[in-house]
Amino acid sequence: MDEKYKYIDFEIEDFLNDEFFIQWVKNPGEETNHFWLKWIENNPERRPILQKAKEIIAMIDYKERYVLSDQAYMDLYEDIVEKSHQQRADGSHFQWSGWHKTAAILFLVFSTVYGIDVLNKRNQEESQNQQVVTWLNVDNPAGQKYKFQLPDGTRVHLNAASSIEYPQNFDGEKRTVRMKGEAFFDVKADPNRPFIIEIDNSQVTVLGTSFNLKNEDDFELALVEGKVEVTDSTGGIITVLPNEMLIKRQNGEISKTDFDPLAVFGWRDQYLVFEDDSYPEVLEKLEDWFGVTIESTLKVDKNWSYSGQYHNKPLNQVLEGISISSEFQYKINNKTITISNP
């Protein structure tokens, strides 16, 4: 059928369901303008109906996600038509006049618009309640230490080869961070919002306290002041009190002990401390502390150990001090250290 004849018998409800007509009203273009202006010129008696349909469509926000489907729209419309032909109590029939048609269509239109508005508001509320949390990451390489402050005022000393993640803002009922490696925390007191550190198999919960946390092969938490609860993956809770150190070994062994503050967190004040460390432990500390790679062919006794303290000393002085007691020679080539027997 020729398009110009297709619309001759259209009523308002027909125009409201015609995509070509809706496109012209919502997004007029050269093609649609040419067709509809020519059609009105050739069918002036249909102008009032077409104009009313334009006004109704202009009021509707035709969004693909929320508008009624063609089938749903027609089902509702046909239901209204069916009820309009039911007999009245006096035996007469209700007449489906042009006015009643328009009223029914307006009912559908405004019902749809109301539904769209409610759904949009609901989506906006859900969006506000589910705001995306922006996490920041501090990744400290070997050879460096970093001191900074979290959004709530908590002070953090991050050791070398360690990292911490935290939200840009602590907006919820708790303050949660994630970490790997070693850090010293001086937590800002806030009784209403516990401070929580999430690590691999444990969760540390505090309200306001100072402590050193090391999460590498073993878990070590040394509490200076305050009170800390450590929860494991099974829900078990261990409470740590001041001057106590909680140690959880990889093999599952758990113990509490006292500790030497200088040996445990002297690193934050530039103290490099060796305390009966094995040869592999000494090499690991040197690599992390100075950000170097050590290649060693040194043969040492299986019971070899080393103790010593160095405050803010350069690498060559530390190596010199260790070599005196251990009788080895070393060579420094940029970031590579070679250690061998004399």
Same domain membership, residue 283 and residue 229? no
| pLDDT over threshold 90, residue 24 | no
- Average pLDDT for 321-328: 89
Owning domain of residue 24:
3-59
Task: Say how many domains are in the chain.
Answer: 3
Q: What pLDDT score does 69 carry?
A: 47
Mean pLDDT of the chain: 81
Same domain membership, residue 333 and residue 288? yes
| pLDDT over threshold 80, residue 58 | no
Structural domain includes residue 161: yes
pTM of the model: 0.61
Structural domain includes residue 113: no
Same domain membership, residue 325 and residue 237? no
CATH value at residue 195: 2.60.120.1440
Structural domain includes residue 96: no
Same domain membership, residue 292 and residue 187? no
Same domain membership, residue 254 and residue 174? yes
Structural domain includes residue 107: no
Q: Residue 217's pLDDT band (boundaries 50, 70, 90)?
A: confident
Q: Which residue has the higher pLDDT, 319 or 108?
A: 319
> In this predicted structure, which of 26-35, 168-177, 242-251 has the lowest mean pLDDT?
26-35
| Three-state secondary structure readout of the chain | CCHHHHCCCCCHHHHHCCHHHHHHHHCCCHHHHHHHHHHHHHCHHHHHHHHHHHHHHHCCCCCCCCCCCHHHHHHHHHHHHHHHCCECCCCCECCCCHHHHHHHHHHHHHHHHHHHHHHHHHHHHHHHHCCCCCEEEEEECCCCCEEEECCCCCEEEECCCEEEEEECCCCCCCEEEEEEEEEEEECCCCCCCCEEEECCCEEEEECCCEEEEEECCCEEEEEEECCEEEEECCCCEEEECCCCEEEECCCCCEEEECCCHHHHHHHHHCEEEEEEECHHHHHHHHHHHHCCEEEECCCCCCCCCEEEEEECCCHHHHHHHHHHHHCCEEEEECCEEEEECC
Q: What is the pLDDT of residues 82-126, one digit of tens each?
A: 544 444 444 444 444 454 555 555 555 555 444 545 455 555 555
Same domain membership, residue 139 and residue 40? no
Q: What pLDDT score does 81 carry?
A: 47
Q: What pLDDT score does 213 carry?
A: 96
Q: What is the pLDDT of residues 221-235, one digit of tens each?
A: 999 999 999 998 777
Q: What pLDDT score does 260 carry?
A: 95
Structural domain includes residue 294: yes
